[in-house]
Amino acid sequence: MKFTKIFKTTAVALSAVVALSGCIRETFPKEGAITEGQLLAGQAEVVAENLLKGIPSGLMSYISGWEHTDFGYHSVGIYNDYACGLMVSNSWQIGNPAGYCRFYPAAYSWGYAPNSAMPSHVWYNYYPQIKSCNDLIKILEGNEQLKHYSGIARAYRAMMYIDLARMFECLYAANDNNPQYESDQIAVAGLTVPIVDENLDEQGAKNNPRATREEMFNFIFADLEDALACLEGYVQEKPFYPTQAVVHGLYARAYMWLGCADFENDGLNGELPSGNAAYELAKQHAEAALQLSGGAIMNEEQWTNTTTGFNTVVPAWMMAVVTSAETIVSNLHQHPAHFSPEALYGYSQYTSLGVSKQVYDNLSNTDFRKNLIKGPDTTLADFQKYTTIKDQATFDIIAPYAFFKFRPGNGAQTDSTVGGSVALPIMRNEEMYFIQMEAAYHLQGDAVARDLLIQFMGNRDSNYNFYRTGEEVLAEIIAQKALEFWGEGIVMYDMKRLDMGVTCGFEDTNYYVEGRHNTKGRLPWWNYCVPQGELDRNEGIKKNNPDPSESLKPVGDSDIQ
């Protein structure tokens, strides 16, 4: 088996264009002891163990260096959270440049053209990991003794393709600046991304079309079915290895997507379920995931601890990535540098990443998560219970509405190696509870869904109640899910399939002027374009998604809601 690396980087505005051709390449993990001699000698176990280590390592790797946001899998999810208006860079209110937040293009819809940064960033972070999975699956073909390795690789590969399918399938969105945008969207309906599996050779990669929704999810479900069988009896050895519970969670994510109302009558699902049939399956798999995982929910201490808060694996985390001193590239190419206000070596102290003023104002004072958000009148004394490592000077430079959700490793403020050594969740039990809630809304009605929401929210706010009905119940479920998973890259997919809009322009808004979008439905840049580098080398891709860059104008003062 011979793989050739086809990888060329060209600088363009805000980007490094990726030329991947499906990412067919020759590569071995840098930290592994694999040699081609071992591979030829058939030492499958040695090779497999090293390749297995390389998959989670790739999820937190520094790949292109084009931006300080290049720190792996989670950086893609953060861009998506930012694109949904779930995150706000607040420090412009106290005079800091808005550009200190390196995720700002997602809020403004900048850099989403095929030859620009955002599509390339996604492609770089997904297809190399898919290639690692393919290598492992190929090597272990027919190896019963190491079948759990193959199950882990298939689960990872399915996870990657679920994300890619949801990001690159073009769903209808209004575009103020391009009259052809609607017809251009229709032309690519139901197309996702090219499927690269363990049997695709270099020649095939050069003529590999975008898979249809039906083809993609049939491929994903085949991987998940195999993963379930291969992981029978497997006990999680490391927090970054998927289990059967995680596989059921991935099924639940996939079926929630297929429940999208846009798909019910478009005829592109084939034999795949849609609508309520898909939601029923999502519900069943979410329940199976919780049963296998134990169903633990993060408690207040695990959220608010000043040294371990959201940086340490806990029972509610079904799967996570774990960084260490050996994997940290710099003080800036790491998650805490951007998301821990207490990390004084990065951007976060200058960006005050947090939540919308409306989110803060709507939170009950008895919801412990509100105590992690600096309010406009919050003093250091108010924060002492949760933030003891800040002094007055470093607390004063944090703007209102900053969210102290993620702590630097061991609470380290100045040591970027210690502070950057953190765990980050990939899947939590809480996501499965929210899938249950939403599925219940579609299948059983608002009253059942509301009861499940109230039951869950008792873990966040002992006084929580919700009396509204109808679509407001669904809106509240997604709003609470958005806060629960702030910074984890989960909710954009929900907002996209539900055709939900954003409200960033309102009286006394804390969104920066260029990101003040108000829409009734999904934003165009939730539909990613295939990057130009792939188009140049893959003749099988005949149609790309229309460029969503700068497709909406920010609202002016007269449009403030």
Is residue 510 within 8 A of residue 400, CB to CB? The reply is: yes
Written as six digits, the tokens of 3 are: 């793989």
* 3-state SS assignment for residue 414: coil
Region of 42 on the Ramachandran plot (φ > 0 left; ψ -120 to 50 alpha; else beta): left
Question: Is 450 exposed, middle or buried, given 0-12, 13-18 or 19+ CB atoms closer than 10 A?
Answer: buried
Q: Report d(CA 247, CA 252) in Å as an integer.
A: 9
Q: Report d(CA 269, CA 311) in Å as an integer.
A: 39
Digit-coded pLDDT (tens) for 514-545? 999 999 999 999 999 999 999 999 999 999 99
Q: What is the bridge-based pairing of β-strands 423-428 and 353-354? A: unpaired
CA nearest 400: which of 439, 371, 373?
373
- In one-letter notation, the amino acid at residue 78 is I
Q: Which residues make Cβ contacts (< 8 Å) with residue 373, sequence separation at least 6? A: 354, 355, 360, 363, 401, 402, 403, 404
Written as six digits, the tokens of 186 are: 């229709």
CA-to-CA dists, residue 196 to 1, 14, 134, 163, 204, angstroms: 15, 28, 8, 15, 9
Q: Which residues make Cβ contacts (< 8 Å) with residue 178, sequence separation at least 6? A: 184, 546, 551
Is residue 136 within 8 A of residue 52, CB to CB? The reply is: yes
Average confidence score pLDDT of the chain: 88
- Compute the average pLDDT of residues 1-25: 32
Q: Report d(CA 421, CA 94) in Å as an integer.
A: 30
Written as six digits, the tokens of 83 are: 């694109």
Digit-coded pLDDT (tens) for 58-104? 887 765 556 777 778 888 999 999 999 999 999 999 999 888 888 88
For residue 171, pLDDT beyond 80: yes
For residue 196, pLDDT beyond 60: yes
Q: Report d(CA 282, CA 288) in Å as an integer.
A: 10
Is residue 8 within 8 A of residue 14, CB to CB? The reply is: no
Q: Which residues make Cβ contacts (< 8 Å) with residue 139, sequence separation at least 6? A: 39, 44, 47, 48, 51
**More confident site: 288 or 416:** 288
3-class DSSP string for 129-192: HHHHHHHHHHHCCCCCCCHHHHHHHHHHHHHHHHHHHHHHCCCCCCCCCCCCHHHHHHHCCCEC
Written as six digits, the tokens of 561 are: 């809601």
Q: Report d(CA 533, CA 167) in Å as an integer.
A: 18
Question: Model-level pTM?
Answer: 0.92
Is residue 470 within 8 A of residue 458, CB to CB? The reply is: no
Q: Report d(CA 63, CA 126) in Å as an integer.
A: 11
Q: Report d(CA 8, CA 17) in Å as an integer.
A: 8
CA nearest 491: which of 23, 9, 79, 188?
79
For residue 512, pLDDT beyond 60: yes
Q: Report d(CA 458, CA 452) in Å as an integer.
A: 10
Predicted confidence band of residue 323 (pLDDT cuts 50, 70, 90): confident
- Compute the average pLDDT of residues 468-488: 97
Vertex 257 angle, CA 255 and 259, to 5°: 70
pLDDT attached to residue 264: 92
For residue 278, pLDDT beyond 90: yes
Question: Which of 87-96, 98-107, 233-242, 266-275 is least confident?
Answer: 98-107
Digit-coded pLDDT (tens) for 16-38? 333 344 544 333 333 433 444 55
- In one-letter notation, the amino acid at residue 237 is E
Residue 40 CB neighbours (<10 A): 8
